Amino acid sequence: MQLKNLKTKFLGKNNIYHEKIDSTQNEIWRQIEKLAPNGTLVIADIQTNGIGTHGRVWHTDEENNIAFSFFVKLNCSVNRLEGITTQIAKIIIDIFKVKYGVNLNIKEPNDIVINGKKIGGILTQTKISSQIAKYIVIGIGINTNKEKFSEDIKNIATSIKKEFNIQIDREDFITEFCNIFEQKLTERINN
């Protein structure tokens, strides 16, 4: 997948696209085991077993929604990562506001919501050794174009298309996110 206008040093430079996969989060862990380059990003149209927080399932069963995971090698105190999930959520809602004029909210620490319904989520996992964070794995799922919601989630989930009737350019969104997040993470670790 071509991420045009990517201004990062490493994040997203190596990206892998799957039409269908079990989970982008599982795949990024497999990529780490294969010694993939720092900042590798996995994007999928459909996840058959997407992972949400607390072991829940994240439904990505229609195309053109946002589902991606990535990892960043670190070597910093775990304290430097405090509040990072909420910071990621703020980056996401800022992109939607600036680029699309869409106002979303954060249900801390990791849910993106509108009118009390979930539109997206963030899964943050860290590999730690002796209080040193070795790397961070982040998964992001956003219902941009989802129209069909199963019975168990139809009253608690929604999508950008359903709420605002606009199209989101997935590659553009992911590129913008990578550009901002890499800069914020660098500041967080180096300060």
Task: Give 53's pLDDT tier (boundaries 50, 70, 90).
Answer: low
Q: What is the pLDDT of residue 55?
A: 58
**Is 61 strand, coil or helix?**
coil
Contacts of 129 (CB under 8 A, 6+ apart): none
* Overall average pLDDT of the 172-187 stretch: 97
Buried-state track 120-140, b at ≥16 Cβ within 10 A, e below 16: bbbbbeeeeeeeebeebbbbb
pLDDT digits (tens, 9 = 90+) for 74-126: 999 999 999 999 999 999 999 999 999 999 999 988 999 999 999 999 999 99
Residue 116 lies in a domain: yes
pLDDT at 17 over 90: yes
Q: What is the pLDDT of residues 132-151, one digit of tens each?
A: 999 999 999 999 988 888 78
What is the extent of the structural domain holding 106? 15-190
Number of Cβ within a 10 Å radius of residue 156: 11
pTM score above 0.85: yes
- CATH code for the domain in which residue 19 is found: 3.30.930.10
Give the total number of structural domains in the chain: 1
Answer whether residue 5 is part of any domain.
no
3 falls within a domain: no
Residue 115 placed within a domain: yes
Residue 4 lies in a domain: no
Residue 2 lies in a domain: no
